[in-house]
Amino acid sequence: MRHTFTIALWLALGLSLAFLMVPVVAVFLQVPPGELVDHVRGPVVRDAVIVSLRSNVIADVIIVVVGTPAAYLLASHRAFPGRRVLVTLLELPLVLPPAVAGIGLLAAFGRSGLLGGELSTLGIHVPFTELAVVLAIVFVAGPFYLRQAIASFEAVDPRMVAAARTLGAGPGRAFARIVLPLAGGGLAAGWALAFARGMGEFGATLIFAGSLPGVTQTLPLAVYAQLGQDFGTALAIGALLVVISAAILLAVKAVPVWDPTSSSTPVSRHR
């Protein structure tokens, strides 16, 4: 019975791996490597890469600058009323369908939306611009960073912060000199996950920003646009996204994380 159970476990693992890997491998085998490289060098891919990278960098700056202090507040004040509700609201975009996220952004920032009139008065038109791409990425990717940042700050031993305070360090100095270095590995991992989610964002961006080549067309939108025009280019963009995603996953696993149960030395996430 023991051998039968072990064989069943390995069979389940093999089936899972095969099912998940066959589509990924097929992306690279459908078109010869030389043609994939030629397609990647084309103007469609180049423009989509520029839009994706630029939008994600701007969005990630916003996510980190705003999300880091917000996460630290929630991590360091665990007993105030409504904390669980606040965390749930921050995590809500994680489970929202992409179409709902896109229509929600349009209803909030569109010309006839909740804030559209005020923005139009200021001369700001959000939908179907690169700003819309940035806002869509912040909305869908921000919670990934916030969740990881909260967990990373909660893992920091509060006694170390208290010791720094007794030695005369103010709250800001203790945060910068003690908390951030110890939580840095987790924060970096959270940023990588948010970046990966932003690079793969499709639904909310399509509804809120459209798919204008060179303006709002990101790499996932370029895949969709090229499906009926040039399947080779669509495959090439897919292959590029697979490489980017794999690189981010490997980077996340290699990020050292401080283990408070063993020592003050960072340990690798790699298993």
Residue 268 clears pLDDT 60, i.e. is over it: no
Question: pLDDT at position 244, please?
Answer: 92
In a domain, 20, yes or no: no
Amino acid 37: pLDDT = 86
Residue 28: inside a domain = no
Query: Is residue 258 included in any domain, yes or no?
Result: yes
Domains contained in the chain, number? 1
Answer yes or no: are the C-beta atoms of 182 and 258 closer than 8 Å. yes
User: Domain limits at 119?
Assistant: 33-268
pLDDT(265) > 50:
no
Q: 173 phi and psi, to 5 degrees? A: -70, -40
pLDDT on residue 17: 96
Listed residue (211, 210, 216, 209) closest to 109, CA to CA: 209
Domain of 233: which CATH number? 1.10.3720.10
The answer to the question of residue 256 being in a domain is: yes
For 187-197, write each residue's pLDDT tens digit. 999 999 999 99
Per the CB < 8 A criterion, the answer to whether 57 and 139 are in contact is no
Per the domain annotation, does 15 fall within a domain?
no
- Asked if residue 23 is part of any domain, the answer here is no
Which residue carries 């800001």 as its tokens?
A: 172
Q: Using a pLDDT cut of 70, give the percent of the chain over it.
A: 93
Look at residue 26 and tell me if it is in a domain. no
Position 13 in a domain? no
Whole-model pTM: value is: 0.88
Average pLDDT of span 204-229 = 95
